[in-house]
Structure 1
Amino acid sequence: MYTVDELDTVVPLSDVPQSDVGAPLPTVVADDYRLILEYLVSDPDPNWDGTYVNVVGTETDGTVALIRFRRPYAHMMGAPNEEAIAGHPLSGRGLEPFAAFEIRDSSWIRALESMNSVHPYHDRDRFLASKRHFIFVFHDSTFECVAEGFDVSKLNSSIVDSIETVVEFLRDDPI
């Protein structure tokens, strides 16, 4: 994790699909040049009367969000879960469960820039201008990454079956 200062600002992202609040089953596929986050989207049943629970797994059909990050630089996934999100260093600034955010003036990006500054061709302004910090808070985990941006697509699938589409993205994406 990183330490935040007074500059970090949490901004909700409205252009990503709402994750399922019960079992979004987030999955990350990554290499040095590509990063894809996929998860089940919230598809409320308009006829649900509250008397039963749907149990889902990676083979359950539904709507899957595929978030392809452009020029990823760093990522991490794990704690905190939604019940411990108050322990995240940005929780007091608007970070909350079951949502996605961009962090402006990110301490994490500034720390990465400082580490990279020893590179002989480092350009501080170019480095900072090309990086954005994103956070997706799920039921059991939190995903964070630094990238230039992202593209969103949705498919009617299961997490397992959507892997075929992810593999096609990996084949099609230029390195």
Structure 2
Amino acid sequence: MESIEELKLGVRPEAAVSGAVLLQSEYSSYLTFNAQKDTDKPSPYGGFYTADAGTAIVEFQGCLISKFGYPNDEAAMGIPKYKDFGYDICVVKNSEWVKELENLNNYSFPNTSYADFRHFIIFFHDSTFECIAKDLVLKLSDQPYSEIIGELSAKVSAE
């Protein structure tokens, strides 16, 4: 049975303006967003206050497929499998999507296995990103956003 677990990576998408941008080619996939980190100051609403963490740059290694867009945060709250998550970075265990890809590929390649791939999901304010990839690497940057996007665009276009 599918289950979703939050990945504890030290940051999460900013709640108000996530600013997510996806740069993807046949060979690489990068997702950037405004990141927040927890502080040690308790919030009266539960949990802790957050602080700016810069821009997160997430590389999805070996990305097979991705979806970016629907649902936004309000719609996600009404979807049973998403309702317990906020602006989080997660992994889907026993993913039906991974199984679907294996089944489809088995028509031409009967021994296909994607056992070493994972289904990642990131919830933003205005969108959701999902992909099937081998792994993710998250880095933080304080560079201006235009420089980050310029560097990633150069990497993607050089492939």
TM-score normalised over the length of structure 1: 0.75
Q: Which amino acid aligns with 1:82?
A: D
- 1:81 matched to which residue of 2? 72
Distance 1:38 1:135 in 2: 14
Query: Pairwise mapping of residues 143-162 of structure 1 onto structure 2 (< 5 A)?
Result: 143-162=129-148
* Residue pair 2:23, 2:156 contacting (<8 A) in 1 also: no
Q: Which amino acid aligns with 1:64?
A: T
Which ranges in structure 2 are unaligned for 5 or more consecutive residues? 40-52
Specify the SS of the correspondent of 1:112.
Answer: helix
Which ranges in structure 1 are unaligned for 5 or more consecutive residues? 1-6, 46-61
Aligned length: 148
Select 1:28's aligned residue among 19, 22, 25. Answer: 22
The verdict on how the C-alpha distance between 1:168 and 1:134 changes in structure 2, with shifts beyond 3 A counting, is same
Query: Pairwise mapping of residues 158-173 of structure 1 onto structure 2 (< 5 A)?
Result: 158-170=144-156
Query: Pairwise mapping of residues 1-175 of structure 1 onto structure 2 (< 5 A)?
Result: 7-15=1-9, 17-42=11-36, 63-88=54-79, 90-91=81-82, 94=84, 96-119=85-108, 121-124=109-112, 127-170=113-156
Q: Which amino acid aligns with 2:111?
A: D
Q: Which one has the bigger strand percentage?
A: 2
Distance 2:144 2:101 in 1: 35
Distance 2:110 2:29 in 1: 23
CA RMSD in angstroms comes to: 2.5
Deviations 1:105-147, CA, capped at 9 Å, x for gaps: 000111111111112x4423xx231210000000000000000
Distance 1:27 1:122 in 2: 36
Distance 2:124 2:107 in 1: 35
Specify the SS of the correspondent of 1:162.
Answer: helix
Identity of aligned residues (%): 22
The verdict on how the C-alpha distance between 1:108 and 1:44 changes in structure 2, with shifts beyond 3 A counting, is closer
Q: Which one has the bigger helix percentage?
A: 1
Q: Which amino acid aligns with 1:71?
A: G
